[in-house]
Structure 1
Amino acid sequence: MTLESPRVEDGAAIWRIARDSQALDLNSSYSYLLWCRDFAATSLVARAADGDPVAFVTGYLRPDRPDTLVVWQIAVDETHRGRGLAGVLLDALTARVSPEAIETTVTPDNTPSDRLFTAYAARHGLCLEREVLFDGRLFPDSADGTHQPEVLYRIGPFHPTGASL
């Protein structure tokens, strides 16, 4: 297994992994192609021995807080789950980007993501704060008119102000 920046040609595989996760909000296939082009420096794919992507993490630096890495999506193909690959991807991405903080959103029913980010914060000895970022009523596209709230997880700071090295 290798970890590397995604390439545009990985967009279709990343889209399929996201779709098959049945936990992520699926974006358009076009958006995954753009993500692989425009945000490759803040994203990673895990490749199997044959070179095919089997997991990914996508992120970006917040324009108004360029020291904050927003983790947009993270998913592992069903055949590779249960091996800690999501945690490995998250560790590798934050080592590469070296942010001061991480932000992501998790819906209350997404237990695997809650566990992933809670374990990440604990493993790195970081503070984890949670607050509702977007109330479910703000989402106009939910089929039944309800959407779970998106809870903001803020992890950090990685390098506390005034800390000596």
Structure 2
Amino acid sequence: MIFHYRKPDSQDGSAVHDLIKRCPPLDTNSLYCNLLQCTDFADTSIVAESSVGEIRGFISGYITPKSPDTLFIWQVALDQRCRGKGVALTMLTRLFDRYPKLRCLKTTISPSNKPSQRLFLSFFKQQGMAVEIREHFKSDVHLGGDHEDEVLYLGTKPDHSSMGDVKSDTGLHNYKTEDLSK
């Protein structure tokens, strides 16, 4: 399947909303929220559109004024039929590459969401980023006990060093990535 990757626009809000509803365990937001993601946050979001114009993938993100070198990824949604084909990794890479001055990418992932963990760890490895994984939002403290914990994943481009460590509170992700650009 061939995809066109682009910034979302106001016409995509409803399709994005429907896609997210079809992608449990993703949290669903209001249609209005998804519409804002497709308009006000379009520069830091991306869609994967099929050759017949169907939205099959969506990533939303933002860059805060406090951290202009960091892209936070809010949500990754991918149609079931497109999973395991590299579409999400391509979307994430193209979105990050829009901003050459970015040094960091961060996101939060629930412990049970193994596909998202694999996606982001693959991205960090592909980019040669050092990775830090730590507690962020606790279910019983921050999320009213109605949602799993959210674990922070932070990837940082090395400052011309040849090796990057993966740091984890749990010790589960201890591997090295080589900077092959030298």
TM-score by length of 2: 0.82
User: Which residue of 115, 119, 133 maps to 2:118?
Assistant: 115
- Percent of aligned pairs with the same residue? 36
| RCO higher in structure (CA 8 A, sep ≥6) | 1
Please report how far the alpha carbon of residue 146 of structure 1 lies from its aligned counterpart in structure 2 after TM superposition: 3.9
| Unmatched tracts of structure 1, length 5 or more | none
Structure 1 range deviating more: 30-39 or 72-81: 72-81
Please report how far the alpha carbon of residue 159 of structure 1 lies from its aligned counterpart in structure 2 after TM superposition: 5.5
Aligned residues: 159
CA distance 1:119–1:162, change in 2 (3 Å): closer
The structure with the largest helix share of the pair is: 1
What is the CA deviation profile of residues 77-132 of structure 1, one whole-angstrom value per residue up to 9, with x for unaligned ones?
11222211000001101111231100100010000000001111112211110111
User: Which residue of 114, 132, 138 maps to 1:135?
Assistant: 138
| Unmatched tracts of structure 2, length 5 or more | 163-181
Q: State the alpha-carbon separation in 2 of the partners of residues 121 and 35 from structure 1.
A: 24
User: Which residue of 75, 84, 106 maps to 2:86?
Assistant: 84
Q: State the alpha-carbon separation in 2 of the partners of residues 162 and 128 from structure 1.
A: 14
- What secondary structure does 2:22 align onto? helix
Partner of 2:151: 151
TM-score by length of 1: 0.90
Please report how far the alpha carbon of residue 133 of structure 1 lies from its aligned counterpart in structure 2 after TM superposition: 1.1
